[in-house]
Structure 1
Amino acid sequence: MRTLVLNAGYEPLAVVSFKRALVLVMNEKAIVVEHIDDEPVWSASGMYERPAVILLTRYVRVPSARRVPVTRRGVLRRDAHRCGYCEKAASTIDHIVPRSRGGEDSWENLVACCLRCNNLKGDRTPGEIGWELRMTPRPPRGTQWTVRGTDRTDPRWEPYLALAA
């Protein structure tokens, strides 16, 4: 069971375990905004609803430049597992400017790529072989990228994630 944590300004911060969320509520650091319609949790100090969404009682400063780390899985997810050159199913990633020529591991220099295109392109740039990218690679944006754990959402989270989008 997982719980969405909202900052005091209602922006999504993280997804935590049910136990962690309950500890925040019991220590009065958060309040339950949405609960699961199960049996309540009983403790020595009283009864608590099972939290689906909690709101922190104090505002937590979040670094404004929350950068999404570049990963193979992230590039494939951003490009919807479609090749940046031919749009077929992609299972690898490709450096637009090859690493041997100074290409970086960045969102702007990586695209999802099928094995065929990756092998044909080799150590060349798309321009050298007359290819064009089907899209312009950019860093991903949105709460599904900056708030860890929101890729598998609970329907009760949707109104709060939509506010941040």
Structure 2
Amino acid sequence: MPHVLVLNASYEPLGVVPLRRALVLVLENKAVSLEESGAFMHSATVTVPAPSVVRLKRFVRVPYRGPVPLTRRALFARDGGRCMYCGGVATSVDHVVPRSRGGQHAWDNVVASCRRCNHTKADRHLVEIGWRLRHKPAPPTGLAWRIIGTGHRDPRWLPYLQPYGAEDAMARIDGISA
């Protein structure tokens, strides 16, 4: 099912919701559709364009959310779904400094890797096997990462996410993917 970007009344990105939830918000007059996906939703009496971006009519106060949580989906989004050692398709998570050797489970020590590289590296430091990372891992910043980290991306969302670091995030993802 397609997903829709939800913006606050101030155009600040709040999150991503399924299309059905976004349609309910629009039909209940709680949100306005800003971008349409080109598809249409049909009922017995009404045809409604499916939204891609909606903005709430009333401002919703959001408490401080803290740093972007380290999840598998967000990690693969940060690394563009590519192995940080060989550039292949990533299927697993690897700790650059192994946890058994004092490495932390943190953004700057965790990378996406392919199964082969993860198995070959095993419980060793990179210098022991002569490997280098393609890019230095770092924690993502900005509200855009909360959206991109969900794994759902739509090019129509970019103009609404640009003020919140989306260009940096997308460049990082595209640069790693290439």
Normalising by structure 2, we get a TM-score of 0.66
Shift of 1:137: 0.4
Match of 1:34 in 2: 35
Q: Is the 8 A contact 2:67 2:141 kept in 1?
A: no
Match of 2:77 in 1: 77
Q: Is the 8 A contact 2:73 2:150 kept in 1?
A: no
Match of 2:119 in 1: 119
C-alpha RMSD of the superposition: 3.5
Match of 1:146 in 2: 146
Match of 1:12 in 2: 13
Higher helix share: 2
Q: State how far apart, in whole Å, the 2-side matches of 1:112 and 1:90 are.
A: 6
Q: How many residues align?
A: 162
Instruction: Give 3-state SS (helix, strand or coil) of 1:33's partner.
Output: strand
Q: State how far apart, in whole Å, the 2-side matches of 1:59 and 1:95 are.
A: 41
Structure 2 unmatched runs, 5+: 167-178
Q: Identity of aligned pairs, percent?
A: 48
Q: State how far apart, in whole Å, the 2-side matches of 1:121 and 1:40 are.
A: 50
**Residues 150, 91 of structure 1: alpha-carbon distance in 2 compared, 3 angstrom cutoff:** closer
Instruction: Give 3-state SS (helix, strand or coil) of 1:112's partner.
Output: strand
Q: State how far apart, in whole Å, the 1-side matches of 2:81 and 2:142 are.
A: 19
Q: Is the 8 A contact 2:35 2:54 kept in 1?
A: yes
Q: State how far apart, in whole Å, the 1-side matches of 2:41 and 2:79 are.
A: 42
Rg larger for: 1
Shift of 1:10: 0.9
Deviations for 1:58-91, whole angstroms, at most 9, x for unmatched residues?
A: 2222344453332334333322333323334433
Deviations for 1:85-135, whole angstroms, at most 9, x for unmatched residues?
A: 333443322211112123222221111223443233222222344433221
Structure 1 unmatched runs, 5+: none
